[in-house]
Amino acid sequence: MKRIIKRSLFILLMIITFKTYSNITDSIIIRTYSNSEIVTVDRLRVGTSLKIKDDNGIILHRKEISDSTMYTKSFELSNLPNNTYYLEIENVNEIKIIPLVVNNEYVKYLRSDERTISKPNVQVNGKMVHVNQNSTEEQDFHIIIYYEDQNIAFEEKMRNSKNFSRSYDFTGSLYGDYTIELITEGRTYNNKIHITD
């Protein structure tokens, strides 16, 4: 009982102590505490998405940061079965994947196994659309461009590349809404664009 009370007070203290305003920084601080199952995420900006996933990719917790003042959160993970879990912090430009190992006695932050995935960058200049995606390792890229009602207007695959960079000319294309879907590293990214005269 004392342990539960101590943890509850500790979590409350952590939340009060580590308040951070989103317009100050977008850095991320992960704290684990020796002999503890508590992980604290600090300094997340508005527009950031936070997820905790299990080893099978099942989302156990999801939070979209929409409050314009701050976001700090402590997670007490002792109720989770022993396993590896992944904290995913996603913003407009990237997804940071942070592995955490939970066992009976502690949570271990595997800093050396942390990785960052750059998200695709889509820019529209008149009737030209530029799509760029960078990776740290060679990946397969699959791009599909859909016209309004999900009809495929264009499709392309690229194998074993670190970078995907293409420009598409929509001159002569039908006006309207398009969805650019890029599939890589087991993830699908959708960007909506509008082509006018």
The domain in which residue 146 lies consists of: 120-195
pLDDT in tens, 115-168: 888 888 999 998 999 999 888 788 889 999 999 878 999 999 989 888 888 999
Does residue 90 sit in the same domain as residue 172?
no
Q: Are residues 105 and 126 in the same domain?
A: no
Instruction: Specify the residue for token string 């990776």.
Output: 135
Last residue of a domain, one of 117, 132, 164: 117
Domain boundary among 82, 117, 152: 117
Range from 39-48, 105-114, 126-135 carrying the lowest mean pLDDT: 39-48
Tell me, yes or no, whether 157 and 137 share the same domain: yes
Does residue 151 share a domain with residue 99? no
Top pLDDT among 102 and 11 is at 102
Confidence of residue 13 (pLDDT cuts 50, 70, 90): very low
Asked which of 117, 147, 166 is the last residue of a domain, the reply is 117
Q: Could you tell me if 127 and 188 lie in one domain?
A: yes
What is the count of structural domains for the chain? 2
CATH of the domain at 174: 2.60.40.3080
CATH code of the domain containing 29: 2.60.40
Q: How confident is the model at residue 37 (pLDDT cuts 50, 70, 90)?
A: low
Q: Are residues 147 and 175 in the same domain?
A: yes
Q: Based on the fold, state whether residues 107 and 130 are members of the same structural domain.
A: no
| Amino acid (one-letter) located at 7 | R
